Amino acid sequence: MTEKRSEISQLGEFGLIERIKGNVQLGNKTSLFGIGDDAAVIGAGDESILLCTDMLTEGVHFDLSYTPLQHLGYKAVVVNVSDIAAMNGRPEQIVVSLGLSNRFSVEAVDMLYEGIRAACKNYNVDLVGGDTTSSASGLVISIAALGRVNKNKVTYRSGAKVNDIVCVTGDLGGAYIGLQILERNKQEFLANPEMKPQLENFEYMVGRQLKPEARMDIIFELAELGIQPTAMIDISDGLASELLHISKNSGVGIKIFEDKIPIDSKVYETAAIELNIDPVTCALNGGEDYELLFTINQSDFEKIKNHQDIHFIGHVHDNARQNLLITKQGTPIPIQAQGWNHFRET
Amino acid sequence: MTEKRSEISQLGEFGLIERIKGNVQLGNKTSLFGIGDDAAVIGAGDESILLCTDMLTEGVHFDLSYTPLQHLGYKAVVVNVSDIAAMNGRPEQIVVSLGLSNRFSVEAVDMLYEGIRAACKNYNVDLVGGDTTSSASGLVISIAALGRVNKNKVTYRSGAKVNDIVCVTGDLGGAYIGLQILERNKQEFLANPEMKPQLENFEYMVGRQLKPEARMDIIFELAELGIQPTAMIDISDGLASELLHISKNSGVGIKIFEDKIPIDSKVYETAAIELNIDPVTCALNGGEDYELLFTINQSDFEKIKNHQDIHFIGHVHDNARQNLLITKQGTPIPIQAQGWNHFRET
């Protein structure tokens, strides 16, 4: 083509989504919410049905030289369950589309489905269909999930209010560090095939990367405690990127404190000592932790203030242009999204 | 791996689906029907929600050297709409997952979405979300669709009854012939790049291949006439394959008559004269026509006997092992599924 050519890498994933969204109108009355949150929201009487999809492609999202197929199947389900959780919903069904190159055997497909079934069992999700086809090149897994939630309990990215408390579950940065360890190991192995994998000290991080979990436990606990977050998103692209989504969608600013960001001690040590990278940067921009980031009204704080796995990292204010990280030294730094741009320049 | 290795090509797509299905149980009460029809059926009060997915991969389902991106986007929606139609439902929402290699520009993505939006408009479907990611190799499009139908009107493959009439919409074999023409043209072009494409006489078939339509018009007409098919399936793999699905799922036998199979005169001529292949074989095994195959109770025949675009090709009998094509000469031939095995041997 001799026409204008713009590179996707310049636009980025979010720019591309905005471009697609700009041309879309919703016509059916059951289409309550379309593009722009963790899942679409479909009307179904007193309940809303949530619909989301995620595609994992070989060589971009996973490297089969160190990713067991069972784990990959498990993770492919988890990333969708996490999107349903982020809308405050319960996942109920998935359909799985597989593109398989002919280097995959029936036994390999069995292993992949073993992981898919394990995740389905763990999260009470039913595998109800899919499409299995061949692919001219690598493995592609695309899963779509349906979830359900009372129509008044749907939690969007857009509901954060001034003075809300910013909460994050679990700990961050582990999945990214796990990936760095796996990649380092792979490079060492390629240089010296007799090398034995050295993963003993890194099991936690490697597990976070290869077999993450979705925080449905937190969704159920919040429901039991009678807490509905005002805004919520799952942390797939890194804390910074997700904070900015809530800020933008809610029209508010967010201030978080560096010393409140939950980082596991093993993650911290491995980042700082073993890999010589800043652990906080990993938490902010690493991604793939699949923890939940949410905001609550201050009146709900008492109910969860002693929760072992929910961390209060900051609060919401009214200046949407001011999203700040307050460092340990008290210095305010603007939060910037690096996220994870998988549309790399060639 | 030194373990046992079985090739997917030996099992085939349907064998693989059976293998996957064998290990799956449904746990949620909203999961009314899982793997094994054109779409899964999800309970939602008086209505049922239909969920289906289809993945198209470059080099397997489409060749970008002769497939305009707008048509590809259109077709990717249509194949899903067709699955919803085959359950007697109305499509309402889709989510689109794209895997893009870096040879795709923003403008190319725009063209793809132009086709997606055109199909959405045509079939009253809302694009409510998706995932856009990079792919290490070719283009992958995976769409999941939601449809809706009154819970008593869901039409499965399994409802055909003895003495029902077998109906097929439109005409068959055209999409396959279109593909042969496009492939022949491509080979000629590769041999002689100065050759001009010779597609004038083949527009109908090429259109059937590149820009098929789903038969929602028939679904609406049947509803208006008060006809609910006893069984239905869309013709994506070829008439023979789909007939056998209805036979197997309904536990009945089907007898069809060669001279009743609808084949357009241009398709017939092009197959027989231009390509020297049997037009009836194309209709039986060609696939991708996206017409509807359904069975009706004899009492409904009067209502549609004069319909211009519904053809009555045979009837249902009680011997599930006897699926027969009666040739023009009156000879019965067992119907065998060749379908379209995209898991080819290497």
Measured in degrees and rounded to the nearest 5, phi and psi for residue B48 equal -115, 145
Q: Could you write out the three-class secondary structure of A208-263?
A: HHHCCCCCHHHHHHHHHCCCCCCEEEECCCCHHHHHHHHHHHHCCEEEEEHHHCCC
How is A108-139 classified by DSSP, letter by letter? HHHHHHHHHHHHHHHTT-EEEEEEEEE-SSS-
Can you tell me the distance from the alpha carbon of B132 to that of A86, in angstroms, rounded to the nearest whole number? 19
pLDDT tens per residue across span A96-153? 999 998 889 999 999 999 999 999 999 999 999 999 998 887 899 999 999 999 999 9
Chain B residue numbers with beta carbons less than 8 Å from the beta carbon of A33 are 128
Can you tell me the distance from the alpha carbon of B30 to that of A50, in angstroms, rounded to the nearest whole number? 14
Chain A, window 65-94: residues with a beta carbon less than 8 angstroms from a chain B beta carbon: 92-93
Asked if residues B197 and B242 have their Cβ atoms less than 8 Å apart, the reply is no
| B191 Cβ under 8 Å from any chain A Cβ | no
Q: In what order do the strands lie in the sheet with A165-169?
A: A231-234, A292-296, A165-169, A310-317, A253-257, A324-326, A332-334
Structure tokens, A120: 């389905």
pTM for the full predicted model: 0.95
Chain A, window 113-172: residues with a beta carbon less than 8 angstroms from a chain B beta carbon: 113, 117, 124-138, 140, 142, 144, 146, 148
Q: Could you write out the three-class secondary structure of B89-157?
A: CEEEEEEEEEEECCCCEHHHHHHHHHHHHHHHHHCCCEEEEEEEEECCCCCEEEEEEEEEEECCCCCCC
Chain A to chain B Cβ contacts (< 8 Å)? 288
Can you tell me the distance from the alpha carbon of B89 to that of B114, in angstroms, rounded to the nearest whole number? 25
Residue B43, C-beta contacts closer than 8 angstroms, at least 6 positions apart: B29, B30, B31, B32, B49, B151
| B296 Cβ under 8 Å from any chain A Cβ | no
Q: In what order do the strands lie in the sheet with A140-150?
A: A31-33, A40-44, A47-57, A140-150, A90-100, A126-134
Pairing of strands B231-234, B292-296: antiparallel
Tell which of B92, B106, B149 to mutate to test the A interface (max A CBs under 10 Å). Answer: B106
Residue B309, C-beta contacts closer than 8 angstroms, at least 6 positions apart: B169, B170, B218
Residues lower than pLDDT 70 in chain B: 1-3, 339-346
**B157, exposed or middle or buried, with CB in 10 Å at 0-12, 13-18, 19+?**
buried
Can you tell me the distance from the alpha carbon of B340 to that of B346, in angstroms, rounded to the nearest whole number? 16
Any idea which fold A8-150 has? Answer: 60s Ribosomal Protein L30; Chain: A; (3.30.1330)
Structure tokens, A226: 């009678």
Chain centre to alpha carbon of residue A330: 29
Per domain, the residue ranges of chain A are 8-150, 165-334
Asked if residues B53 and A97 have their Cβ atoms less than 8 Å apart, the reply is yes
Residue B52, C-beta contacts closer than 8 angstroms, at least 6 positions apart: A95, A129, B38, B39, B40, B80, B83, B84, B144, B145, B147
Q: Which residue of A has its CA nearest to B41?
A: A128
Can you tell me the distance from the alpha carbon of A333 to that of A319, in angstroms, rounded to the nearest whole number? 15
Measured in degrees and rounded to the nearest 5, phi and psi for residue B12 equal 80, 165
Residue A77, C-beta contacts closer than 8 angstroms, at least 6 positions apart: A94, A115, A116, A119, A120, A123, A125, A143, A145
Chain B residue numbers with beta carbons less than 8 Å from the beta carbon of A3 are 107
Can you tell me the distance from the alpha carbon of A258 to that of A176, in angstroms, rounded to the nearest whole number? 18
Chain A residue numbers with beta carbons less than 8 Å from the beta carbon of B128 are 26, 31, 33-35, 40, 42, 51
**A51, exposed or middle or buried, with CB in 10 Å at 0-12, 13-18, 19+?**
buried
Tell which of A98, A133, A237, A345 to mutate to test the B interface (max B CBs under 10 Å). Answer: A133
pLDDT at B74: 98
Q: If you count them, how many residues does chain B have?
A: 346
The amino acid that residue A65 corresponds to is S
| B44 Cβ under 8 Å from any chain A Cβ | yes
Measured in degrees and rounded to the nearest 5, phi and psi for residue A302 equal -55, -40
Angle between the N-to-C axes of helices B69-85 and B216-224, in degrees from 0 to 180, rounded to the nearest 10: 30
Q: What is the DSSP letter of A296?
A: E
CATH placement of domain A165-334: 3.90.650.10
Using alpha carbons only, what angle is made at residue A105 by residues A99 and A107, rounded to the nearest 5 degrees? 110
Can you tell me the distance from the alpha carbon of A105 to that of A110, in angstroms, rounded to the nearest whole number? 9
Asked if residues A51 and A40 have their Cβ atoms less than 8 Å apart, the reply is yes
pLDDT at A151: 97
The amino acid that residue A202 corresponds to is F
pLDDT at B157: 98
| CATH number 3.30.1330.10 is the correct assignment for the domain at B28-150 | yes
Q: What is the DSSP letter of A339?
A: -
Tell which of B95, B216, B342 to mutate to test the A interface (max A CBs under 10 Å). Answer: B95
Residues lower than pLDDT 70 in chain A: 1-3, 339-346
pLDDT at B341: 54
Q: Which residue of B has its CA nearest to A38?
A: B129
| B6 Cβ under 8 Å from any chain A Cβ | yes
Can you tell me the distance from the alpha carbon of B230 to that of A128, in angstroms, rounded to the nearest whole number? 22
pLDDT at B343: 55
If we measure between CA atoms, which residue out of B228, B240, B215 comes closest to residue B159? B228
What does the buried/exposed string (b/e) look like for A248-268 if buried means 16 or more CB atoms within 10 Å of the residue's CB? ebbebbbbbbbeebbbbebbb
